Amino acid sequence: EDKVVQSPLSLVVHEGDTVTLNCSYEVTNFRSLLWYKQEKKAPTFLFMLTSSGIEKKSGRLSSILDKKELFSILNITATQTGDSAIYLCAVLGSGNTGKLIFGQGTTLQVKP
Amino acid sequence: DAGVTQSPTHLIKTRGQHVTLRCSPISGHKSVSWYQQVLGQGPQFIFQYYEKEERGRGNFPDRFSARQFPNYSSELNVNALLLGDSALYLCASSLVGYTEAFFGQGTRLTVV
């Protein structure tokens, strides 16, 4: 059965800290891995990773994929209170369905 | 450009009733997917439609159905509502189903 597992499930840090969120997967036919930030309702797209070893970066956020070891990490440097959210990792299979398989999410709380 | 729009934003229904949720994708996107998210979990895939055809169905009972219209908007229908159907229902649109998926604000359904 296809599975995506995120760790830790929750994390509390102080502003300015750096955090690393983990996502491991077991998927029959892998196409890409996506990261989303969910604050209240709508998950907001962060990154889509398809190739191993190529870091994607957006401001203080960065992510990388390891297709050999079947995991991805999301790094957030110099955290701010506005980074407090649930971070979701999802894997897209190579079939025609467009089905995203989500992990359970990591809840990040950044304290002032 | 408008993002993905969903209606209504909130809904309260009684057990046994029927509900219709609506989604308009980003202009130019031809694929719409529906997800159910219960508290504390990642979204679960319900359906994907592309060019008005169902491309994928998740592990949900036949009480759940959907369709996509010629303008690529979509409806999710749920019959004979159960308490366990209470959740956030998310719609995601993408260009062709295996590209980045962007989510709407969701419909919060409460079944009492």
Among B33, B36, B37, B98, the strongest candidate for a mutation testing the A interface, having the largest count of A CBs within 10 A, is B98
Sequence-ordered list of residues with C-beta below 8 angstroms from that of A83, at least 6 positions apart, any chain: A76, A108, A110
- Phi and psi based region of residue A59 (left: phi greater than 0; alpha: psi -120 to 50; beta: remaining): left
The first and second tokens of residue B79, run together, are 């019959």
Query: What phi and psi, each to the nearest 5 degrees, are found at residue B85?
Result: -80, -5
Integer angstrom CA distances of residue A97 from A39, A73, B39, B49: 27, 25, 25, 8
Distance CA A22, CA A75 (A): 9
The first and second tokens of residue A91, run together, are 């894997």
By a Cβ cutoff of 8 Å, what residues of chain A touch chain B? Answer: 4, 31-32, 34, 36, 41-45, 48, 88, 90, 92, 94-105
* CB distance B43 to B24 below 8 Å: no
Among A2, A9, A41, A56, the strongest candidate for a mutation testing the B interface, having the largest count of B CBs within 10 A, is A41
Indicate the Cα dihedral angle A46, A48, A52, A58, nearest 10°. -30
The distance of Cα A35 from the centroid of its chain, to the nearest Å, equals 4
Q: Which residues of B touch A97 (CB under 8 A)?
A: 48, 55-56, 97
What one-letter code names the amino acid at B11?
L
Element (H, E) at B91: strand B87-94
Per-residue pLDDT of chain B (112 residues; tens, 9 = 90+): 579 999 999 999 999 999 999 999 999 999 999 999 999 899 999 999 999 999 999 999 999 999 999 999 999 999 999 999 999 999 999 988 778 899 999 999 999 9
Per-residue pLDDT of chain A (112 residues; tens, 9 = 90+): 889 999 999 999 999 999 999 999 998 888 899 999 999 888 999 999 998 888 999 999 999 999 999 999 999 999 999 999 999 999 988 776 788 999 999 999 999 9
